[in-house]
Amino acid sequence: MAAHFEKCLTETDTVGRLSLPIDWLRILPQFELGSREVKISVSDKFGFCWEFRCSTIKMGHYRKPFLQPEDWLKFVDHKGLEVGDKIILESEPNDSVGGHFRIRAQKFDHEDEKWVDV
């Protein structure tokens, strides 16, 4: 099952963690019984591989997935991401649950009026 998540980054995303949509719990690798964390392998457009730890927090009657700050902020710093920049996270097409993921980081080029991968 392929999935697509696109988000313009907020301050929380650039100094803390990145929250994922709840429906991504179906896409992510299975959490082991009793575990609140799972590792996901992600590659960017330039072929660099990233390892993110995805955890969940309980929000009322459901769990909300997010990328742990320790891993996520390394990516943010490496890409020079700021509030208003954009990320696109996708699961590889036709992958089984828990497969590989791709991530794109983008900044808006005001001169050309388009998003550019960084």
Q: What is the mean pLDDT of the chain?
A: 90
Task: State residue 2's pLDDT score.
Answer: 77
Token pair for residue 107? Answer: 């900044």
CATH code where residue 46 lies: 2.40.330.10
pLDDT band of residue 3 (cuts 50, 70, 90) is confident
The domain in which residue 91 lies consists of 4-117
Q: What is the pLDDT of residues 9-19, one digit of tens each?
A: 999 999 999 99
Task: State residue 95's pLDDT score.
Answer: 47
| Measured distance CA(65)–CA(95) in Å, rounded | 20
Total number of domains constituting the chain: 1
Q: What is the pLDDT of residues 72-84, one digit of tens each?
A: 999 999 999 999 9
- pTM of the predicted structure, to 2 decimals: 0.87
Pick from 47, 67, 50: which is nearest to 117 by CA?
47
